[in-house]
Amino acid sequence: MRLAIDIGGTFTDIVLENDNNLITKKVLTSIAQPEIAVIEGILELLEENKIMSSEIKMIIHGTTLATNAVIERKGAKTCFVTTEGFRDVLDIGYESRFDQYDILIEKTMSLVPRKHRYVIKERTDVNGSIIEPINTNAFKGLVKKIKDENFESVGIGFLHSYANPENENILKDYLINNLPGVEISVSSDVCPEIREYERFTTTVVNAYIKPLMANYLKKLDNELKGKGFNCSLLLMTSGGTLTNIESACNNPVRLVESGPAGGAILATSIADDLDLNKVISFDMGGTTAKITIIENKKAIKAREFEVDRKARFKKGSGLPLRIPVIEMVEIGAGGGSIARVNKLEQIITGPDSAGSYPGPACYDNGGDKPTITDADLVIGKINPKNFAGGKIILSKELATEAINKNICNIVNLDTETAALAISEIVDETMSNAARVHTVEQGHETSNRTLIAFGGAAPLHIARVAEKLRVKSIIVPTNASVGSAVGFLKAPVGYEVVKSLRMLLNSFKAQKINDLLKDMRDEAQAIIQSNLDEVSFVEERFAFMRYAGQGHEIKVPIDNSILENQHAVKIKATFEEQYEKLYSRILPNADIEILTWSLSLSIASENNNEFKKLDGFKEIKKNKLVDFVDYERNKQIEIPYFERIDLNPGDLIKGQCIISEDQTTVIVSKNFNTKVLSNNFLQMEFINDD
Amino acid sequence: MMIKDNLTEEKKNIQNQVMWNRLLSVVEEQGQTLVRTAFSPIVRECGDISAGVFDLEGRMMAQAVTGTPGHVNSMAESVKHFIDHFPLNSMNEGDIFITNDPWMGTGHLNDFVITTPCFKDNKIVGLFSCTSHLTDIGGLGVGPDATDIHMEGLYIPMLKLADKGVMDQTLLKLISQNTRQPVETEGDVYSLAACNDIGCKRLVEMMEEFQISNLKDLSDFIYNKSLQAVENEIKKIPNGVYHNFMMIDGFEKDIRLEAKLVVKDKSISVDFTGTSDKSKFGINVPLSYTKAYTCFGLSCLVSAEIPNNAGSLYPFQIDAPKGSILNAPYPAAVCARHIIGQMLPDVVFGCLEKALPDKVPAEGASCLWNITFRGKTDRGANNNSLFAVTAVVNGGTGARPSKDGLSATAYPSGVRGTPVEINEAVAPLLFLRKEYSPGSGGKGKYNGGLGQAIEIKSAIDEDMDLLASFDRIKYPARGRLQGEDGKAGSVSIKNQGQLKGKGTQVIKAGEILEIYTPGGAGIGKYSERDQELINRDDENELL
């Protein structure tokens, strides 16, 4: 038996996995001391189900605590030590504005103000040669300042330390010996990659949240042990793998955004169960929609992520982190997203959200702005008496009033057309984001399957699929607790990334083998402390470009020991990937490798029990409900089903509504719906010919 | 029931709006492709590009947000020139057109403009255009030293780069032979072509999805909606005639930039009569570029939320007397036209201060303080033994109404700065210092943004050329409403003498180039500044 815990801003979700059965529980998050609610929730859940703590074999934990500490600026008192002459790298950033035309933008401030940034004389050059030894005479004074100011955490970031960490390490060792109890984060450990702004920022974020996370995790671990849980406690990372407490305490920056990663992992495991090679994971909740590409049953990984965006969801307005993450796009499109009319008399939706309180106008909590949920209610997508399992009775009157007041009065539309327009615009926004994201990865949308989960996704997925020309959609069961369920599917693993610049025509296999061996040892040391006898899944990538370009593409590398002649194969793979992304290769240009990544994970057993059904039998409508149809733009009656009444092997032809406790599946006339053996719904596009 | 008579019209409007959004996402993808595949460091690290889609009349329908204003609005004009030279009915699928003509493109020879007709069902439906800044196009290099356009490098007239899908190898060889960085330059040409291809593919997919065969209706819709929205905003500004002038350093002589801005009902016109005559050197500005930055300044204050396109640009009429530095005709040298072009929003803001006193920022450093070097290298790829590199660097922006200016931030340019580690990786440079220059922002109720203090020397003990293109060394950014001026910029050899702000000068092996970029100016009296902000600045040693 295993437990998954997802601490969110409002709720803490707990999922118990007993064989293949899931039992879930939601408790309020205890913000000040989150471990209290976790422990209480777990104990209640176990007691309710008559389970002993000793029966739990593993606890998997994901949390937004790290992210929230950054956003709310509630981290440790932190200082940063850097190369003399470069005190302001953290604030100077990209020297650019994230919005061209808005003269009043505010940039995201560095977590460490200038007065807490100290400089020291030292310099490493681009080749890793130390051209100015570090001024050890200044160490004493530095330690005194850190003590006097009571800093709890120190970040160290020197120029070109990715090429040679010696100067950083000299200072680190001195500080560790002379500042017991103060956490130290070093840029060549946290993020050994070229580009000082990103490397320093990542280091500072790590330093900023380190005391808090270390403190919390150790306390939680002790509490659990005290309650008789002698199993391992693993942490979900933003890269979609699980890691142990020690590694999480050293590198807490990798825990940022672990929740959405859980959703992507859920979609990955569904892709695996159903044998789907080309998938788009579509997770639409109350505030945002998150889109992830799953290729050959793996979520695409990236190394860049922005936290704390000032202008919500606007690229460039946050703090750039260089950590292994699941590549995803997150946009402000969810059930609570607010619709309004802009200066061009266009209806636009999001990115701002009515949140859970006051929420959409139809919640009757005082919200008077029309949201996606209000539009969905007016159209007839949502049954007002059956929302959130009947816990919230929705008011169609209030929804209508909000739409009339904020939309119809301005652009001369009737309520139903305005509601259709709101729904159409948000669907377009989401499918645009999905299309751009897919294409940026060098893929097409049309040959993929959409896996839709999160409370609002089933309401919108059919139209999104039509826009993306997707022919097949999967709506799983338990869709609304996706993240925590996803945690249970995540492998234990770790990824190491290091910069080592090398032109391919002077490829030195030995140097790379040495580097990769070190990286593998590092990864193995971190994950093997969890389990004894395991088999590993290893993946290696080189980040390459034509010498002279600025952006690298990710190229898979063999796991074997490299020989010098491997350069030929690496070149061919690079060109293949490049051509896929940008249509043409450049025959005359040199190719270089900038950075290497190695990820190691523990192979998991596939206990896939999914069976393909041979035949499906059409079932007839038993009930009709009112619905405003987009294509016909008028109110019609369409068939209505309760999901709980459907059985594996059932087939529903064409347009219908399938209602369930947490959400509603809206099927357009272009799809037939099948109920699969595991009770998942599969919507298939009906070909005209 | 609820169905109204004009329903089809409503439905069409919604559909047009959806397609408009789609176009904006298509051109964004076009622009991102360009940034990701470019070789030129100023493109890939800094985003010095633009990308857009045009209808068959050459009207710009949408442009990528990624990019920089000087390119965008001038590229909008250039497509009309392409159509004039190559009539639509002569265009074939797979054709690609190219130019770097400063007067028909984006203002200097380093910018290549590439335009690709887009076909659906064998019929031309629209055009994609893009431009980016190439690092080297021969001639004297990226500086203002030339005294006529032909000294500034290879001049490519309006030409066909590809004919029915076949690249013109003669032209490509000619281009490669005329640059110090042949492989990179050829790569950039390909990258421009590829990004248009992507745009075209997405446009055709969109037209298939919405079952339309031409863009006429959609283009009219975008044009009219945008025009109307901008006109509505202009109506909120009091009618009137507003004057302003600003002095800047220039090259061989000081330059006066003078403007008369007229707000009349639904339109704004700006006339630069009274502005200095053109320079002997390469700081002259072609009119298209003058229009680009003037429009940008106007848009920021008047219509910031309305996307750029032919309709939203239409209510702004810009003119400058022929022969003035803001309308320098062939064969004037124009390589460093950005210096003066980027000053134009400040000139416009000075006019609008009288009409919109609460909305106008103070003057800033405004022109990019790009540090361009050229010399021998030990670290070039592609067998280059010479390097040319531009470190993109900025001063401070002017204080904003209700807020301090932004420190070390580009405005009006939209480019990003280059990381020190990347500069040192691609060129034999060693940075000894790059940080804020405390006290450089003009004091006021709201302070101007800070400039930077920068020190650089050769990493390999070789002489190298500095191609200086700096301004606001003599004339700093001026404060508003009794705010103080920003600190002027400075260029010198450390512990030796000042260097000239413009023109090529040698930095000898071992010498340290010391640069202070200008600060932005303040707004309002310093005595009215919030004491908490003064304390904060003091604690952080920013004063």
pLDDT category of residue A688 using cuts at 50, 70 and 90 = low
Across B334-354, average pLDDT: 96
* Strand duo A472-475 + A536-546: pairing: unpaired
- B387: tokens are 């390097």
Residue A416 placed within a domain: yes
Nearest CA-CA partner of B363 in B338, B341, B396: B396
pLDDT digits (tens, 9 = 90+) for A372-397: 999 999 999 988 887 766 767 899 99
Q: E strands along B73-203, which residues?
A: 96-99, 111-120, 123-133, 159-163, 166-167
- Write phi, then psi, for A22 (nearest 5 degrees): -110, 130
> Of A161, A188, A344, which to mutate for an interface test with B (greatest number of B Cβ within 10 Å)?
A344
Query: What are the residues facing A284 on neighbouring strands?
Result: A289
CB contact under 8 Å between A589 and B190, yes or no, is: no
Banded pLDDT at A312 (limits 50, 70, 90)? low
Q: CA of A439 to nearest chain B CA: how many angstroms apart?
A: 8
Residue B90 to chain A, least CA–CA distance (Å): 26
How many other C-beta atoms lie within 10 A of the C-beta of residue A187? 29
- What is residue A406's DSSP assignment? I
Q: Are residues A50 and A104 located together in one domain of the fold? A: no
Of all helices (H) and strands (E), which one includes residue B345? Answer: helix B344-352
Tokens, residue B185: 């330059």
Is residue A662 situated within a structural domain?
no
- H or E segment and range at residue B289: helix B287-302
Residue B2's pLDDT band, with cuts at 50, 70 and 90, is very low
For residues A371 and A336, the answer to whether their CB atoms sit within 8 Å is yes
Both A547 and A587 in a single domain?
yes
Residue B381 has a pLDDT of 63
B389's tokens: 């590199």
Distance, in angstroms, between B50 CA and closest chain A CA? Answer: 13
Total number of domains in chain A: 4
> Residues A73-87: pLDDT tens digits?
889 999 999 999 999
Short-list A676, A598, A430, A644, CA closest to B21: A430
On whether both A104 and A49 belong to a single domain, the answer is: no
User: A336-358, pLDDT tens digit by residue?
Assistant: 899 999 888 889 998 888 876 78
Identity of the residue in A100, A589, A590 whose CB atom sits nearest the CB atom of B65: A100
- At position A603, the amino acid (one-letter code) is A
Which of A403-412, A580-589, B15-24, B119-128 has the highest mean predicted lDDT (pLDDT)? B119-128
Amino acid at A309: R
**Interface size between A and B, measured as CB pairs under 8 A:** 227
Residue A398 CB partners (closer than 8 Å, separation 6+): A361, A362, A364, A374
- Kind of pairing, strands A153-157 and A183-186? parallel
A231 compared with A205, residue with greater pLDDT: A205
Q: Which residue among A96, A126, A582 sits closest to B37, beta carbon to beta carbon?
A: A582
> Which residue among A101, A131, A196 places its CB closest to the CB of B420?
A196
Q: Which domain holds residue A383?
A: 337-423
Please state, in angstroms and rounded to a whole number, the distance separating the CA atoms of residues A438 and A56: 39
User: What pLDDT, on the 0 to 100 scale, is given for residue B71?
Assistant: 75
Nearest by CB: B381 against A102, A342, A548: A548
- Set of chain A residues whose Cβ sits within 8 Å of the Cβ of B435: 85-89, 92
Determine, for residues A549 and B540 on separate chains, whether the beta-carbon distance falls below 8 Å.
no
Q: What is the pLDDT of residues A612-658, one digit of tens each?
A: 888 999 998 778 888 888 777 678 899 999 999 999 999 999 999 99
Helices (H), A227-301: 245-250, 258-273
Residue to mutate among A83, A86, A96, A506, with most B CBs inside 10 A, is: A96
| Minimum CA–CA partner of B16 in chain A | A346
Strands A634-642 and A624-629: antiparallel
Q: Do A39 and A87 lie in a common domain?
A: no
Residues of A within 8 A of B20 (CB-CB) are 346
Angle, CA B236 vertex, CA B231 and CA B238 arms, to 5°: 110
CA distance B301 to A208: 38
Largest CA distance in chain A: 84
Looking at chain B, which residue has its C-alpha nearest residue A95? Answer: B409
List the beta bridge partners of residue A295.
A278, A298
Most confident of A485-489, A492-496, A527-531, B52-56: B52-56
Nearest to B285 by CA among B471, B531, B477: B471
The CATH number given to whatever domain includes residue A94 is: 3.40.50
Residue of B nearest to A422 (CA): B14
What is the band of A525 on the pLDDT scale with cuts at 50, 70, 90?
confident
For residue A475, give Cα distances in angstroms to A483, A648, A683, B125.
15, 14, 8, 39
Does residue A643 lie in a domain region? no
Beta-strand pair A671-675/A681-685: antiparallel
**Which residue, A201, A232, A248, sits at the end of a domain?**
A201
CB A274 within 8 A of CB A85: no
- Closest partner residue to A582 among B11, B25, B194, by Cβ? B194
Residues in A touching B433 (Cβ below 8 Å): 85-86
Using alpha carbons, select from A36, A71, A42 the residue that is nearest to residue A56: A42
Residue in B closest to A586 by C-alpha: B187
Mutate to test the interface with A, among B1, B2, B413 (most CBs of A within 10 A): B2
The predicted structure's pLDDT at residue B6:
42
Which segment of A155-169, A436-450, A561-575 scores lowest on mean pLDDT? Answer: A436-450
Higher pLDDT, A301 or A113: A113
| Other beta carbons less than 10 A from residue A383's beta carbon | 15
Min mean pLDDT across A168-182, A498-512, B390-404 is at A498-512
Residue B524 zone, left/alpha/beta (φ > 0; ψ -120 to 50; rest)? left
Write the DSSP symbol of residue B446: B
Mark which of A170, A201, A232 sits at the end of a domain: A201
> Predicted confidence band at B11 (pLDDT cuts at 50, 70, 90)?
confident
Around Cβ A290, how many Cβ atoms within 10 Å? 26
Query: CA quadruple B198, B201, B207, B209: dihedral positive or negative?
Result: negative
Return the residue matching tokens 């840029």: A187
Q: Give the span between the Cα atoms of A342 and B17, in whole angstroms.
A: 12
Chain A CB contacts of B209 under 8 Å are 467, 469
Which of B183, B190, B421 has the CB atom closest to A584's CB atom?
A: B190
Indicate whether A138 and A25 sit together in one domain.
no
Residue A312, domain member (yes or no) = no
Q: What is the mean pLDDT of residues A234-253?
A: 90
The pLDDT of residue A606 is 63
Q: Please say whether the beta carbons of B126 and B310 come within 8 A.
A: no
Tokens of A253: 């920056």
Task: Give the residue carrying structure tokens 């440790």.
Answer: A76
CA-nearest residue to B224 within chain A is: A344
Helix axis angle, A196-226 to A34-48, nearest 10°: 50
Residue A460 lies in a domain: no
Distance from the A504 Cα atom to the nearest Cα atom in chain B, whole angstroms: 11
Query: CA-CA distance, B432 to B104, in Å (whole number)?
Result: 41
Task: Among A344, A414, A503, select the one facing B229 at the smallest CB separation.
Answer: A344
Each domain of chain B, given as residue ranges in start order, spans 7-227, 361-543
Contact list in A for residue B367 (CB cut-off 8 A) is none
- Within a 10 A sphere around the Cβ of A553, how many other Cβ atoms? 20
Residues in chain A with CB shorter than 8 Å from the CB of B458 are none
Tell me the helix, strand and coil percentages in chain B, rounded to 5. Answer: 30, 25, 45
Are the beta carbons of A194 and B422 separated by less than 8 Å?
A: yes
Contact A96 B417 (CB under 8 A): yes
Contact A113 B305 (CB under 8 A): no
Q: Residue A580 in contact with residue A295, Cβ under 8 Å?
A: no
CB A685 within 8 A of CB A676: no
Determine whether the interchain pair B28/A103 forms a contact, defined as Cβ–Cβ distance below 8 Å. Answer: no
Q: What does the alpha-carbon distance between residue B341 and residue A544 come to, in Å, rounded to a whole number?
A: 37
- Note whether B45 contacts A548, CB cutoff 8 Å: no
Q: Does the beta-carbon distance from B425 to A85 stay under 8 Å?
A: no
CA distance A566 to A313: 41
What pLDDT score does B7 carry?
46
Rounded to whole angstroms, what are the CA distances from A348 to A406, A601, B8?
12, 43, 20
User: Is residue A644 situated within a structural domain?
Assistant: no
| Mean pLDDT (whole number) for A300-318 | 80
**Model confidence at A28: pLDDT above 80:** no
**Distance of residue B322 Cα from the nearest chain A Cα, in angstroms:** 29
**Distance from chain centroid for Cα A236:** 11
A419 and A345 share a domain? yes
How confident is the prediction for chain A on average, in pLDDT?
89
Is B436's CB within 8 Å of A92's CB?
yes
Q: Which of B317, B315, B318 is closest to B265 using CA atoms?
A: B315
Q: Which of B28, B300, B408 sits opposite A95 (nearest CB)?
A: B408
Q: At what angle do helices A372-379 and A415-440 cross, to 10 degrees?
A: 120
Domain shared by A502 and A587, yes or no:
yes
Residues 6+ apart with CB under 8 A from B512: B432, B455, B456, B457, B493, B494, B495
A-chain residues near B400 (CB < 8 A): 103-104
- Pick from A172, A201, A230: which residue ends a domain? A201
Q: How confident is the model at residue B181 (pLDDT cuts 50, 70, 90)?
A: confident
Residue A389 lies in a domain: yes
Report yes or no on A516 lying in a domain.
yes
pLDDT in tens, B137-155: 999 888 899 999 999 999 9
Q: Identify whether the C-beta of residue B436 lies closer than 8 Å to the C-beta of residue B412.
A: no
For residue B197, list chain A residues with Cβ-Cβ distance below 8 A: 583
- Are A129 and A42 within one domain? no
Cβ–Cβ below 8 Å for A548 and B410:
no
Q: How confident is the model at residue B5 (pLDDT cuts 50, 70, 90)?
A: very low
Find, among B288, B290, B282, the residue nearest to B326 by Cα: B290
